[in-house]
Amino acid sequence: MTSPSIASVWEVSCNPDKMKLYHGSNISIDSIDLARCNKYKDFGQAFYLTTDPEQAMEVAKARAELFGGEPVINIYEFNEALLSDGTLTFQSFPSYTDEWTEFIFAHRDETKIPPYMHSFDVVYGPIANDRVGVQVRNYRQGYITLEEFRRRLHYMKGITYQYAFCTPYAISKLRKQ
């Protein structure tokens, strides 16, 4: 299946509560299965999306290179009002903060079995640096401070945000386009 062009991905919905979210992959995803999602990601086991189609394309290209196939951008529509009207439990990290850093650490620490799980339906916040594993180990062993850990987690390409849909209920609110 071919991905839509970046130009077609930039479409804006007429409904101000509706937002488009993008998931880069090497396959078209018609049915989201949380069990197939990695347990030790930034915000835990979840289905990750972005509002940035170029970021999704970067991920799609990386997945295709790693696992074969072609880059695919899966596009979903989501009613953003569900994050503020009480329908979904929501945690937002607007920037790189100590709270965000500790949240990342809790979810990325692969020595925790079973993995740490929060109770939010959706989590929003910055993407951590791809080399987070080394930094988690350095922080856990006391080689670096929380402040240094946070600094090293900054995404190398500048601040980029992600949405993590963490529960089947939250995923049921996504509409594939």
Contact 139, 105 (CB under 8 A): yes
Contact 141, 147 (CB under 8 A): no
CA distances from 37 to 34, 42, 81, 89 (A): 5, 12, 26, 20
For the full predicted model, state whether its pTM sits above 0.75.
yes
pLDDT at 75: 98
Walking along the chain (177 residues) 10 residues at a time, the average pLDDT comes out as 42 66 96 94 96 93 94 97 96 94 91 89 90 81 89 74 97 97
- Which of helix, strand or coil describes residue 35? helix
pLDDT at 13: 41
Distance CA 122, CA 43 (A): 9
pLDDT at 76: 98
Sequence-distant (6+) residues with CB within 8 A of 170 are 88, 121, 122
Residue recorded with tokens 């970021």: 55
pLDDT at 158: 66
Distance CA 94, CA 158 (A): 14
pLDDT at 151: 84
pLDDT at 110: 86
Length of the chain in terms of residues written: 177
**Encoded tokens for 144:** 């670096």
Count other Cβ atoms within 10 Å, centred on residue 51: 16
pLDDT at 6: 41
